[in-house]
Structure 1
Amino acid sequence: MYTNGESATYQQDFWLFGYGSLIWKPPPHFDRRVPGYIDGFVRHTHASSEDHRGTPEDPGRVVTLIDKSFWETVWGAAYHIIPENVEEVKAYLDIREINGYSIQYTDFQPAEQTLPVIKCLVYIGMPDNPQFLGALQPEDVAEKINQSRGPSGENRDYLLNLEQALLELSPGSKDQHISDLAARVRGMARPDRSVLRG
């Protein structure tokens, strides 16, 4: 059983689920971070990034969620946004997350099983949007991630940060797809950016 205040904190207001860079680079104005997972999706690097981890001429690859059978889970973190800052955070997220992503709502299960399910907003790159690239062979995806760079930095750093954040999130939160790609990328030489500057 929960106190009225604790129950209200979890059942009301604005919660956001982060499953990619939001895990290690959270939104502003949150007052609570809860590790946990959502059911029915699998995380995959099927989304293009022309605005953060690549450019329109050379898009990088970032994660999105794909519908999966009911037993699949995607680990991430839910953030409770301070009520007076909700509109500001939504505007921030529309710049950071909206390129090819649509807003959905989903039930989030905290890792701490004594906490109730939380209804969260989540940004998902759906297959019918132009930024959804679909599957490639893992080696091709790793090569693309290794060589891409955008205004937010190296695409490879995005992947390696995501893997580390997932490993630290909670027992059982490792993502085999992300770890496989990260191992492949770590085995590749970093691109020589001095050639581009010269």
Structure 2
Amino acid sequence: MLWSEHASAPDALPVPEGDLWVFAYGSLMWDPGFPHEAILPAEVEGLTRAFCVRSEGHRGTVAAPGLVVGLLPGGRCRGLAIKADGRHKAATLDYLWRREMALADGYVPRRVIARLDDGRSIEALTFVADLEHAAYAGGLPVEEAARRIATATGQRGTNRDYFERTLAQLVRLGIEDLGLARLGQAIVALA
């Protein structure tokens, strides 16, 4: 296994010998933040996208936490496979560690097999929701999740902007996500 599922430091994400692919399913789809060589549509079996990770920094505060996307067991998830620039693999892993583990919290790095639309399968790094972490907020009623997303603001902006940018990217890519569509309807109903 290339990446520990319970890693506690950046050195737990060793630089792979070959290509470094990252499976993006949320904000990494519209804001990867690292140099890359390719971005291709991809799908991962056995994981589902959900607004299930509490954000008390990026998109909310301790007093008014927001919700960001995580991957939960079950189903399948369409997203993007991003091939990191080979000259910057170590820096990319460091950046991803800071963004997804140190600053966001509530995730576990995991390697997955992503199927590209051209039929190839690749190994990719992704970050799944840590169901044992205090930041895990799965199982909230849709109305409560919508209220948090509609009202929370953090260091990187409003939670609603994060939600809308994620949904807009899914629409651009032709990805239908019924859970996010239902959540979006509940957010609009609050206005």
TMscore range, shorter length = 0.7 to 0.9
Give the corresponding residue for 2:179.
Answer: 177
Once the two structures are TM-superposed, the CA of residue 35 in structure 1 deviates from its matched residue by 0.9
Cα-to-partner distance string for 1:81-133 (whole Å, 9 max, x where unaligned): 112211111121122111111110000011233xx101000011221111112
| SS of 2:190 mapped into structure 1 | coil
For residues 72-91 of structure 1, what are the structure 2 equivalents within 5 Å?
72-91=75-94
User: Which 5+ residue runs of structure 2 have no aligned equivalent?
Assistant: 1-16
Asked if 1 retains the 8 angstrom alpha-carbon contact of 2:38 and 2:82, the reply is: yes
Report if aligned partners of 1:34, 1:79 keep a CA contact under 8 Å in 2. Answer: yes
Determine the structure 2 residue equivalent to 1:95: 98
Whole-angstrom CA distance in 2 between matches of 1:145 and 1:74:
21
Asked if 1:130 is matched to 2:145, the reply is no
CA distance in 2, matches of 1:34, 1:54: 31
Unaligned runs of 5+ in 1: 1-10, 190-198
TM-score (norm 1): 0.82
Larger radius of gyration: 1
Task: Classify the secondary structure of the residue corresponding to 1:166.
Answer: helix
Q: What stretches of structure 1 move > 2 A for 4+ residues in a row?
A: 186-189
**TM-score, normalising length: structure 2:** 0.85
- The alpha carbon displacement at 1:27 in A equals 2.8
Aligned residues of 1:36 and 1:112 also touching (Cα < 8 A): no
Which of residues 56, 67, 86 in structure 2 aligns to 1:61?
67
Q: Residue 51 of structure 1 is aligned with which of 53, 57, 60?
A: 57
AA aligned to 1:89 is T
The percent of aligned pairs where both chains have the same amino acid is 28
